[in-house]
């Protein structure tokens, strides 16, 4: 598999720029940059067309023939870049999650714990709504591709680590081994709840969730309320473990 450069959103040094919400736009921009070699621009153009199709079909891959018809290219051009559509999909998913991971939300001044949670969830829910096809494809690939499954597990672990580090900084005290273990478990549950809620709302179109949370922001608010409630016990100084924790 050809190695692609990381597509990053705005980092700390460029917080004034807000990256595009639709990932297909990021790829299309790359495909038009004349400073890139023609082969690289063609690769990004193919990926951008697959990405656009995913947005309208909620995770269903187009065929190689349909892609080439839309791109106006020969079969040989596609196979110069990918061995099949599954490899194209794997490359696309990897680039997408690198992009999502490096997106930055512009913040002004200090924020409370709840404000930080709400800002992160709002950004994530908006990105999920705009790119639901990628998340649907990611879930499907993870069931049959061990490499994608490992990537999902690694991403969730990194997500947990970032939250724990942020909370430790906020409360001014690192987590001990036992307390960290409890916190990791709670965060894993919250992540699972969030991912499943987003999938049901924006991929499967669950009727009740659509009525209750008509926008990404309204769902982000409801999820943030649950996150804040569950995380409150870990925001202050460590408390002794009791039998009620299941460890006594």
Q: What is the pLDDT of residue 143?
A: 83
Give the Cβ contact number of residue 203 at 10 Å: 16
Structure-block tokens of residue 183: 């916190």
Interhelix angle for 23-31 vs 85-102, to 10°?
110
- Angle at which helices 113-130 and 216-235 pack, to 10 degrees? 140
Q: What is the rounded CA–CA span in Å between residue 118 and residue 103?
A: 16
Segments making up each domain of the chain, as ranges: 1-106, 111-248
pLDDT tens string, the chain, 248 residues long: the values are 444 554 544 333 334 445 567 889 999 999 999 999 999 999 999 999 999 998 888 778 899 999 999 999 999 999 999 999 989 998 998 898 888 777 654 455 567 889 999 999 998 999 899 889 888 888 888 888 888 888 888 888 999 999 999 999 989 999 999 999 999 999 999 999 999 999 999 989 999 999 999 999 999 999 999 999 999 999 987 665 555 555 54
Q: How far apart are CA 40 and CA 161, in angstroms?
A: 34
What pLDDT, on a 0 to 100 scale, did the predictor assign at position 2? Answer: 46
* Contact yes or no for 217/118 (Cβ under 8 A): no
CB distance 56 to 70 below 8 Å: no
The reported pLDDT for the residue numbered 18 is 52
Rounded Cα–Cα distance for residues 46 and 71 (Å): 7
DSSP 174: P
pLDDT of residue 82: 95
Q: What is the pLDDT of residue 83?
A: 93
Q: pTM of the predicted model, to two decimals? A: 0.78
């Amino acid at each position: 598999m050809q190695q692609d450069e990381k597509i990053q959103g705005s980092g700390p040094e460029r917080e004034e720029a807000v990256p595009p919400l639709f990932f297909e736009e990021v790829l299309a921009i790359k495909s038009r940059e004349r400073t890139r070699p023609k082969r690289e621009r063609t690769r990004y153009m193919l990926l951008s067309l697959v990405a656009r199709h995913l947005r309208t079909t909620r995770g269903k891959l187009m065929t190689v023939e349909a892609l080439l018809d839309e791109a106006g290219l020969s079969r040989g051009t596609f196979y110069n870049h990918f061995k099949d559509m599954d490899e194209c999909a794997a490359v696309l998913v990897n680039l997408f999650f690198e992009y999502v991971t490096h997106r930055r939300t512009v913040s002004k001044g200090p924020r409370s714990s709840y404000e930080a949670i709400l800002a992160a969830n709002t950004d994530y829910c908006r990105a999920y709504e705009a790119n639901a096809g990628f998340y649907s494809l990611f879930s499907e690939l993870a069931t049959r591709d061990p490499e994608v499954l490992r990537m999902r597990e690694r991403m969730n672990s990194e997500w947990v680590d970032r939250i724990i580090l942020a909370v430790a900084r906020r409360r001014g005290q690192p987590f001990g081994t036992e307390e960290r273990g409890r916190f990791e478990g709670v965060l894993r549950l919250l992540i699972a709840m969030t991912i499943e809620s987003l999938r049901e709302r924006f991929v499967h179109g669950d009727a009740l969730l659509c009525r209750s949370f008509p926008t990404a922001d309204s769902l982000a608010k409801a999820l943030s309320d649950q996150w804040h409630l569950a995380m409150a016990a870990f925001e202050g100084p460590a408390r002794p473990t009791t039998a009620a924790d299941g460890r006594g």
